[in-house]
């Protein structure tokens, strides 16, 4: 998805400046001002319908070599509208056109026995006999009159139903909301048991989720849309695993992996990815692909 916390903060800035933002020297291209708006987003914004109406907020502008200035700001619905843009993506058009990017299929290689297209179109036929004596006798009698079948024989499937490997069709200009993206991702899992596990615990990372009540709002929206078959007793939305800052959670794995001596062997450059595509992950990825 082509949006994130930066776009939400820009939407908040746009609404603040429409309501006489007191810090007149704020500039969107200056890093320190961008950090200031991000802090205002985390401190002022919320997703709590019980908090409404105008409120008076104060913030400090402390730049090196300059006196500290204190500003007072009257805030209202913009504090709840800006984080809700993650669910109502039309609000993000304030910062420009957004797109949903989908990874294209890699070309099939007939000489590769682990080619993704080959694995998708083949299945392994396995038959098991029941433990009852009558069915066992019938099974043996049937084997005497019929040619034996190798249980490990690969069966090529000629017609396929739409499954996890199919592309998601989106209308031009359509942008998935956060809850819709989660539902589509889980729906593309291969088994019902895996879908139930995915729905039971959902991890959301990034600085955009550092808003009071956002996890509860997302949990309620998902609870209304999850198919009854996959509903679990507990739907948990995790935003701060082990009290880690959500803005840095996504980098923890890479930070640990970069300290390994063998990390140099895991790099994939652009030319290798363009030439081999997903197949190179089976050789370089530190986990089973």
So what's the pLDDT on residue 266?
Answer: 82
So what's the pLDDT on residue 281?
Answer: 78
Query: Which secondary structure element, helix H or strand E, spans residue 273, and what is its range?
Result: helix 270-276
**Hey, what long-range contacts does 64-69 have (CB within 8 A, 24 or more apart)?**
69/23
Domain with CATH 3.90.640.10 in the chain: 5-95
CATH topology classification for 5-95? Actin; Chain A, domain 4 (3.90.640)
Quick one: CATH architecture of 177-246? 2-Layer Sandwich (3.30)
| 80-133 confidence digits (pLDDT tens) | 999 998 898 888 877 666 665 555 566 666 666 556 666 556 544 333 444 445
| 190-247 confidence digits (pLDDT tens) | 888 888 888 888 888 888 888 888 888 999 999 889 888 888 778 888 888 777 888 8
Domain with CATH 3.30.420.40 in the chain: 177-246
| 162-180 confidence digits (pLDDT tens) | 444 444 445 555 678 889 9
190: left (phi over 0), alpha (psi -120 to 50) or beta: alpha
Start-to-end Cα distance in the chain = 23
Q: Quote the pTM value.
A: 0.66
| 54-79 confidence digits (pLDDT tens) | 889 999 998 888 899 999 998 888 88
Is the separation of the CB atoms in 8 and 86 below 8 Å? Answer: yes
The DSSP annotation for 33-82 comes to HHHHHHHHHHHH-B--TTS-S-EEEEEEE--TTS--EEEEEEE-THHHHH
CA distance 67 to 65: 7
Is the separation of the CB atoms in 51 and 217 below 8 Å? Answer: no
Per-residue burial over 235-274, b if 16 or more Cβ lie within 10 Å, else e, is bebebeeeeeebbebeeeeeeeeeeeeeeeeeeeeeeeee
Tell me which of 45 and 255 has the higher pLDDT.
Answer: 45
Of 154, 124, 107, the closest CA to residue 279 belongs to 107
Alpha helix (H) residue ranges in 45-190: 78-84, 116-120, 133-145, 178-187
Position 37 confidence tier, pLDDT thresholds 50, 70, 90:
very high
CB atoms within 10 A of CB 202: 19
Is the separation of the CB atoms in 17 and 78 below 8 Å? Answer: no
Q: Give the torsion sign (CA, 175, 178, 183, 189).
A: positive
CA distance 20 to 44: 16
């Amino acid at each position: 998805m082509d949006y994130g916390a930066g776009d939400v903060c820009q939407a908040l800035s746009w609404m603040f400046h429409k309501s006489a933002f007191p810090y007149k020297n704020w500039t969107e291209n200056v890093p320190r001002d961008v950090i200031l708006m991000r802090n205002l987003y985390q401190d002022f914004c919320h997703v709590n319908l019980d908090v409404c109406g105008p409120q008076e907020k104060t913030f400090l502008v402390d730049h090196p070599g300059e006196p500290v200035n204190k500003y007072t700001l009257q805030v209202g619905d913009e504090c709840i509208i800006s984080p809700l843009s993650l669910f109502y993506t039309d609000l993000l058009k304030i910062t420009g056109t957004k797109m949903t990017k989908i990874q294209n299929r890699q070309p099939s290689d007939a000489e590769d026995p682990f080619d993704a297209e080959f694995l998708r179109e083949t299945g392994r036929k396995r038959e098991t006999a029941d433990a009852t004596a009558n069915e066992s006798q019938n099974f043996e009698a049937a084997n005497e009159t019929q040619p034996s079948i190798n249980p490990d024989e690969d069966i090529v499937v000629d017609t396929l139903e739409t499954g996890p490997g199919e592309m998601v069709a989106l209308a031009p200009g359509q942008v998935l909301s956060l809850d819709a993206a989660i539902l589509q991702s889980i729906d593309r899992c291969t088994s019902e048991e895996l879908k139930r596990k995915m729905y039971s615990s959902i991890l959301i990372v990034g600085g955009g989720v550092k808003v009071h009540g956002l996890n509860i709002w997302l949990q309620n929206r998902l609870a209304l849309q999850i198919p009854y078959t996959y509903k679990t007793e507990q739907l948990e939305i995790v935003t701060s695993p082990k009290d880690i800052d959500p803005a840095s959670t996504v980098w923890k794995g890479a930070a640990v992996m970069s300290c390994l001596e063998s990390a140099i062997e895991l790099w994939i450059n652009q030319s290798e990815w363009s030439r081999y595509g997903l197949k190179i992950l089976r050789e370089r990825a530190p986990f089973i692909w």
